[in-house]
Structure 1
Amino acid sequence: MASTTIIYIILSGIIALLLALFQYVYKSKPTRTNAILAGLRFITIFSILLLLVNPKLDSETFYNEKPNLIIAADDSNSMAFLNQSDSVRNLIQAFKNDADLNKKFTIDYYKFSNDISLNDSLEFSTKQTNIDKAIKGLQTIYKNTVAPTILITDGNQTYGNDYEYTAKSYKQPIYPIVLGDTTKHVDLKITQLNVNKYAFYKNKFPVEVILVYNGEETITSEFKITSGNAILFSEKVSFSKTNNSKIVQATLTANQVGVFTYQAVIAPISNEKNVINNSKNFAVEVIDEQTNIAIVSAILHPDLGAIKKSIESNEQRTASILKPNAFLARIDEFQLAILYQPNASFKAVYTKLNADNNNRFVIAGTQTSWHFLNGVSGNYQHDLISQTENYLAEKNTNFSEFIIPDVDFDAFPPLEGQFGNINISVPFQTLLYKQIGSITTDKPLLITLENQNRREALLLGENIWKWRSQSYLDQNSFNSFDDFFGKMVQYLASKKRRERLSLEYQSFYDGNTNVILQAQYFNKNYEFDNRETVSIAITDVISKETKIIPLVLKNNNFEVDLSNLPASDYEFTVKANTSNISKSGNFKILDFNIEQQFTNANFSKLNKLASLHGGQTYFMNDFQDLKTNILADNRYVTIERATKKTVSLIDWKYLLILIILALSAEWFYRKYKGLI
């Protein structure tokens, strides 16, 4: 408490005492009644003056904080494959039932597979394991606490960064409990198969396969690629203890259009325990045309390279960066033109595009000549202001021209464009709105328009390369941005008439990927109608089993997750039940489970992880040893913590009660003595 506050309190006491004495003692006889009344009045006045001074009081409370104990269990279906499901459940229950551990620790239970979450129940159904993501998640939650971590897993990760490297920043001791067989068996397997999803009709496409051998003896086997009963490629391969990996490259021919399934097989050797990893199915969609896109620009800018890479992330598309004159010489080769920051040098380009009524994507920025663009475009006019502005993007959830992928536009850096309004004279839809600072406007940043059977998109900002970079920083992948840009290109490159029911799905799915089908339904005015009920009737071509599943409304589309379907060929019909509009299609789910590719627990990696983090490796039967060591470890002790809280006296309700009691007592006492 400050010295000035103490002085004010003392002065308050003196003033309260003087006033009480003046009222009940000054010029009065010193009686017991006056003394009591003066005391009550002193309490009242002093309390009121204390409230005016409002001193700050410090209060300190003490509490015991137990260390955390994290139990993170592998919930992928590798546990079921290794027959460890019941063992994991029993081990978790042993931690829950142990009184000594629960007395010393606050135990938190998690499960992980392709993600990490609180462990409410274990299902062992997920097809991927990402230990790297699990460690990152726990690091975020427990970075400022003492939290030894028990990792119940086989140590095999199917995707994600190397968790041994990620764990270097993890500050907690790690105690792996190793599941599965740690004995190394002789094994010959396909560890990786590289092939493009698409091939072009009458072209050849490459297939690259990496084979690995775990064993001591020298062996020879045969590698084959088959389609049905036909052998398309075969090669003898030899392995030894030192020469234990091979890269086999094959070239296949795309003779027909459609989706074709192939199988890569390495013949098993004698006494091989796991033969599931000796084969892998893959599929290729053969198409008879390719979309060529021209990126036309008279300037150099990082956006050009980013747009080209984004377009060519889809094997069905190629992109060329051209000057306006070079584009005119090859215009018949392209299905779409992206016009980057047009200026007067684009005059002949616009003349040709307008004459042929071709689709286009215009990207404007700080170097765009709006004086020229206003003159050649009859669909929109922009204010001629030389000032520039930075614009963040806000997605329009009611956009209905095509299904927008799940892109976090809010996290993207701003684009730079010219300041001013744009007036659009034809029907259009806004995909992205301009946001300036924290204020979202109703001004468009990205629009699509369709007029006289011609489609066009207009983006009013440059530096889209920053969006692609941010997408990678956020997700370690360009996929989300590339999917979004690919949808824009697909919409603009197509001249198909708009349909009231549109579907989004792939021709085939790998056995480890999520099978998601999306649909959009529009009313007769081509407005998205979320009141419609949409369902899918899906039939397994082999078993002839049919299921009818409703699609759920998600954002601005209907969606169904079919990831639980077994590998097979499927035909389906999506139906809008009220309007009786339907659309059919088919897809294939490949038979592959990456979790079944491992025969052993990765003991060496888990043991190294434990050593680097001050822990120790255990097995399923070592629960008592683990318990004893953790309970005896001096690093994990209960800490007495104190919290200091500064409270203003005006917040102390008891002082108000004291004032009320003092005034009431004074009034009743005076009434009792007949002084009122």
Structure 2
Amino acid sequence: MQTQTILLIIVAFVISLLVALFQYIYKSEQRKKNSFFFASLRFLSVFALLLLLINPTFKQNTYFVEKPTLVVAVDNSSSIQHLDQEKFVGQFVQELDDNETLKERFDLKYYSFSDKLNDSLHLSFDQKQTNIAQALEELDQIYKNTTAPIVLLTDGNQTYGRDYQYSTNGHKQNLYPVVSGDTTFVVDTKIQQLNVNRYAYLKNRFPVEVMLTYSGKDNVNTKFEIRSGNSIVYTEPISFSEEENSKVLNLTLPANRVGVNQYEATLIPLEKEKNIINNKKTFAVEVIDQKTQILLVSDWIHPDIGAIKKSIESNERRSIVIAKPNEVKDINDYQLIVLYQPTGRYRNVYEQIKENKKNYFTIAGTRTDWNFINTIQDHYIHEIIRQTEYYIPRFNTNYGSFLIEDIGFDSYPPLQGIFGEIRLKTDHDPILFKTINNIETQEILFTTVEKDGIREAVLLGEGIWRWRAQNFLDTKKFEDFDEFFGKIVQFLASNKRKSRLNTISESFYYGNSNIIIKAEYFTKNYEFDSRGNLQITVRNKKTESTQTIPMLLKNNSYEVDISSFEPGDYEYTVSVSGENITRSSSFAILEYDVEQQFLNADIKRLTEIAKNTDGKTYFLNQKDSLINNLLADQRYQPVQKSKENIVSLIDWKYLLMIIIIALAIEWFARKYNGLI
């Protein structure tokens, strides 16, 4: 308590005493027996009231014992069920939870994981992917400031993500893997991996890379083949030995039929092979009959040119040609013309665009000749000011010409362009607005324009190569920027009229992937309508069974997750309640369950992560040994901690009761003695 507060309490004591003595002792004509009683009551009430006004604070220490946390993380993927371990895993968890000694020593926390970590135990063992590395990293972050050993019940088989054997280096918590699954060595051949592009072009050949592996000691002979329907399109004899236990095949297949072509790759199983599921893999390739040809016209050498080329050609269905204005002879071979910082030298290109009614993409910058652009077209006029400015992008969430997402533009570097306002003279839909000197404006930085069936996009700044680089710094990949730029290109390269209802889906999906179908719905003014009631009807072409599912609103689209559907060929129709609008398409789900590709538990990697974190590996039948070692480990001791609370006297409700009681007794006593 501060010295100033103590002095105030002393002063309050003296004032209360003087008030009581003055009223009942000094002022009284004769001292009666009850005068000292009345004085005491008055002193008590006045002193308590003054204490409330001073409101001194006190430190209050409370002590408690904090038990270490024991984290139990259970693998909920279908590989546990495939290895017939789900019953033993559930029994192991239940026995841990029933152990009273363990619960007295530890605070038990339960998690399940597959492709993501869940803070609950709803074990179904039907999840299609496993990412052990991510689950362990998230647990290490959750308990980074506490002592929390982790009991990890898993078979150690991971389908994607970082290699958890190495990602656990530096983890604070000790790991105790409990191995579920058979660790007996068995003979097995399998297709370890198959790589193929999603798209190929008609009358070309597309590459396929296949990795085959063998676990065994004898020399064996088998055969690898690829079928399309009932026809064998590729076959090759394969030999394995203990020393030569893997092979990589590089082959090409013909693309002779437009559309989705399905194939089945098979490594013929050995006679006594136990697991033959991992000897087959289904894959598909969509054959298209043409590429989107894009012409980029530039009179300058700039990093933007390289970024645009990389972004466009990240999609194999697109190719780009770069030419100077005087080199452009015929633009009929191209679906889109990109004009980079045009000047008067581009007049011939503009005339050809107008004559052939081609869509085009104008990118302006510090070298753009706006005098020329303002006269060569009638879509917009830009103020002519000989001054440059930096513009930070701000995404327009109401953009409605097509489905597009904010990829974090507000954190991207600014673009440099000519200062001044642009005035649009036709229908337009802004994608990005300008933020200038941290002031958000409604001035357009990036927009799409459509007039007389001709589409144009206008970007009023140079330096988008920095955006692509920033996207890599943020996400360690270029995909978000390339997808954004690709949607712009796709919109401009297409001459399809606007539709109030559009659907977005792939032509085929692998059975182990998330299958999301999206739809975008617009008002009659082509503004995104979040009030729509959309539903999708999906029909299995083989069984003729149909299922109708409502689509959920998410950001600026409606979507539905049909990952639980069985492999097969499907067609779907999206409709809007109350509107005579529908859109239909089709897709295929290829049969493939990556979790069934494993025959044994991966005890080697589980043992390594136990060593990396100073833990120990156990098996499902070693529950008692695990519990005893945890209880005996001196690293996991309860810790007594103290908590200091600052308590104000005004929060002490009994002091108010003392004031009320003292004043009440004084009033009734004075009334009884005829002093009132």
**TM surpasses 0.5:** yes
CA 1:614–1:291 in structure 2 vs 1: closer, same or farther (change >3 Å)?
same
Distance, in Å, in 2 between the alignment partners of 1:375 and 1:653 is 82
- Matched position secondary structure for 2:271: coil
Distance, in Å, in 2 between the alignment partners of 1:307 and 1:159 is 31
Gaps of 5+ in 2: none
CA 1:26–1:383 in structure 2 vs 1: closer, same or farther (change >3 Å)?
farther
Contact 1:364–1:417 at 8 Å: present in 2 too? Answer: no
Match in the other structure for 1:616: 616
Contact 1:225–1:232 at 8 Å: present in 2 too? Answer: yes
Note if 1:173 corresponds to 2:174.
Answer: yes
Match in the other structure for 2:400: 400
- Matched position secondary structure for 1:252: strand
- Matched position secondary structure for 1:305: helix
The total of aligned residue pairs comes to 673
Shift of 1:498: 1.8
Distance, in Å, in 1 between the alignment partners of 2:322 and 2:39 is 96
Distance, in Å, in 2 between the alignment partners of 1:125 and 1:324 is 59
Match in the other structure for 2:412: 413
Contact 1:113–1:128 at 8 Å: present in 2 too? Answer: yes
Match in the other structure for 2:11: 11
Distance, in Å, in 2 between the alignment partners of 1:98 and 1:145 is 23
Match in the other structure for 1:647: 647
Shift of 1:610: 0.9
CA 1:107–1:24 in structure 2 vs 1: closer, same or farther (change >3 Å)?
same
Distance, in Å, in 2 between the alignment partners of 1:148 and 1:437 is 50
Q: Which amino acid is 2:226 matched to?
A: I
Match in the other structure for 2:128: 127
Match in the other structure for 2:590: 590
Distance, in Å, in 2 between the alignment partners of 1:335 and 1:553 is 33
Match in the other structure for 1:142: 143
Distance, in Å, in 1 between the alignment partners of 2:438 and 2:130 is 39
Shift of 1:323: 4.6
CA 1:413–1:140 in structure 2 vs 1: closer, same or farther (change >3 Å)?
farther
Match in the other structure for 1:2: 2
Match in the other structure for 1:314: 315
Match in the other structure for 1:57: 58
Match in the other structure for 1:240: 241
Gaps of 5+ in 1: none
CA 1:348–1:129 in structure 2 vs 1: closer, same or farther (change >3 Å)?
same
Shift of 1:482: 2.8
1:322-370, CA deviations, whole angstroms, 9 ceiling, x for partnerless residues?
55445x3564443223344555665554454344443233345566565
Q: How does 1:215-230 map to 2 (within 5 A)?
A: 215-230=216-231
Contact 1:181–1:601 at 8 Å: present in 2 too? Answer: yes
Distance, in Å, in 1 between the alignment partners of 2:509 and 2:439 is 41
Shift of 1:44: 4.2
Match in the other structure for 2:574: 574
Note if 1:99 corresponds to 2:109.
Answer: no
CA 1:111–1:259 in structure 2 vs 1: closer, same or farther (change >3 Å)?
same
Match in the other structure for 1:275: 276
Contact 1:366–1:388 at 8 Å: present in 2 too? Answer: no
Q: How does 1:308-387 map to 2 (within 5 A)?
A: 308-326=309-327, 328-329=328-329, 331-342=331-342, 346=346, 348-364=348-364, 373-374=373-374, 376=376, 378-382=378-382, 386=387
- Matched position secondary structure for 1:159: coil
Contact 2:70–2:106 at 8 Å: present in 1 too? Answer: yes
Shift of 1:231: 2.3
Distance, in Å, in 1 between the alignment partners of 2:10 and 2:438 is 51
Match in the other structure for 1:193: 194
Q: Which amino acid is 2:495 matched to?
A: K
Match in the other structure for 1:632: 632
Match in the other structure for 1:285: 286
1:542-564, CA deviations, whole angstroms, 9 ceiling, x for partnerless residues?
33333333333333333222212
RMSD: 3.0
Contact 1:293–1:336 at 8 Å: present in 2 too? Answer: yes
Shift of 1:58: 1.7
Q: How does 1:381-460 map to 2 (within 5 A)?
A: 381-382=381-382, 386=387, 388-396=389-397, 398-405=398-405, 407-409=406-408, 412-417=411-416, 421-434=421-434, 442-460=442-460
Q: Percent identity?
A: 47
Contact 1:175–1:616 at 8 Å: present in 2 too? Answer: yes
Moved more, 18-27 or 124-133: 18-27
Contact 1:394–1:440 at 8 Å: present in 2 too? Answer: no
Q: Which amino acid is 1:13 matched to?
A: F
Distance, in Å, in 1 between the alignment partners of 2:436 and 2:44 is 59
1:299-336, CA deviations, whole angstroms, 9 ceiling, x for partnerless residues?
5554443433332222111234555445x356444322
Distance, in Å, in 1 between the alignment partners of 2:81 and 2:669 is 83
Distance, in Å, in 1 between the alignment partners of 2:34 and 2:382 is 89
Moved more, 20-29 or 104-113: 20-29
Contact 1:224–1:264 at 8 Å: present in 2 too? Answer: yes
1:14-67, CA deviations, whole angstroms, 9 ceiling, x for partnerless residues?
344344444444465665544344444444444454445443322222222221
- Matched position secondary structure for 1:7: helix
Shift of 1:153: 0.8
Contact 2:224–2:266 at 8 Å: present in 1 too? Answer: yes
Q: Which amino acid is 2:450 matched to?
A: E
Contact 1:63–1:641 at 8 Å: present in 2 too? Answer: yes
Contact 2:399–2:527 at 8 Å: present in 1 too? Answer: no
Distance, in Å, in 2 between the alignment partners of 1:465 and 1:533 is 40
